[in-house]
Amino acid sequence: MNLLIGVVEDILDPLEIGRVQVRINSLHPTETEPNPTTGLGVSKDHLPWCQMLQNITSAAQNGLGISPTGIEIGSWVALSADIHNSALGKPHTAATSKESLYKDEPATTAATKYPNNKTISTKSGHLIEIDDTKGAERISVYHKSGTFIEFHPEGILVEKVLGQKYSISLENNNLLAKGDININAEGIVNITSDNSEINIEAKSDVNINAKNINATSDNIEAKASNINVNGSDIVVKSSGNCKVSASSLDLQASGTIKIAAGGGVEVNAGTKIKLSGKKVVNI
């Protein structure tokens, strides 16, 4: 079997099966149009479409293996003297089936144009795509279960996991966003620190909006220049002592203020005690 040398002049295979159009040195003159004097010259339209041989890492059938779309115009190739146009299997030209979109999940930007999408596919359904289609450049790693990661042309990263997800770091884990960070769960959100503190710091407000807020701790401390507690009903209960200490203490109510005790009630003042009202009852 003799080998022939040629240069690739076109890679836009009309059948999209990985063939390239080659000008073979020993068969085709370099002139692209017939010369009226010499009669030599072969236009590109008359050059053969040649099937590329593939290595053993590619099945070269049923769209499996590595797509035969890496050759570029101007590449030099070696050909068998037995030139024919047999098809070895059409490579993938776009992402295969993705699961239906969920909530705010961005849709795939796949807009593949042959032969710009380089693919590796397996018989179980795994697929890796590296797409150089202009304006739709994309990288996708797709698992047969439907779990995938995809890089969009503008730099957006979409990551979708159809099962449980684990992210494990044996040292520090740092998350930085110049915009917002949104965490949304249809179930419970748990934040746990096994051996240290949990610190929340904001240069502006910290807002908590919930139907009920439950706080359980050995000690709860609240420090601020002003603390305001507003509610239609406010109940303070203590199984032990309840102490309120302040430089001044004002109790105001539009209605009645009631003080009840199972034992005695003591009121002590360093100076005078004043009681004022429309009617003062001395006890």
Give the per-residue pLDDT at 95: 38
Report how far residue 21's alpha carbon sits from residue 88's, in angstroms, rounded to the nearest whole number.
16
- pLDDT higher than threshold 50 for residue 93: no
**Mean per-residue pLDDT, 17-41:** 77
Give the pLDDT band (50/70/90) at residue 38. low
Residue boundaries of the structural domains of the chain: 1-91, 92-165
What are 118-129's pLDDT values in tens digits?
888 888 989 999
User: What homologous superfamily does CATH list for 1-91?
Assistant: Nucleic acid-binding protein domain (2.40.50.260)
What are 191-225's pLDDT values in tens digits?
999 888 899 999 999 999 998 888 888 888 888 88
Give the pLDDT band (50/70/90) at residue 91. very low
Mean pLDDT of the chain: 82
Percent of the chain with pLDDT over 70: 87
What are 125-157's pLDDT values in tens digits?
899 999 999 999 999 999 999 999 999 999 999
For 112-158, the DSSP string reads --TTSEEEEE-TTS-EEEEE--TT--EEEEE-TTS-EEEE-TTS-EE
Residue 206 contacts by C-beta under 8 Å, 6 or more apart in sequence?
200
Give the per-residue pLDDT at 134: 95
Question: 186 or 1, which is more confident?
Answer: 186
Taking the mean position of all CA atoms in its chain, how far away is CA 55? 34
Give the pLDDT band (50/70/90) at residue 168. very high
**Mean per-residue pLDDT, 108-124:** 89
**Mean per-residue pLDDT, 178-188:** 92
What are 246-277's pLDDT values in tens digits?
888 888 888 888 888 888 778 887 787 777 77
Taking the mean position of all CA atoms in its chain, how far away is CA 103? 13
Closest by CA to 5, choosing from 76, 64, 72, 54, is 76
CATH 3.10.450.190 assigned to domain 92-165? The reply is yes
pTM over 0.75: no
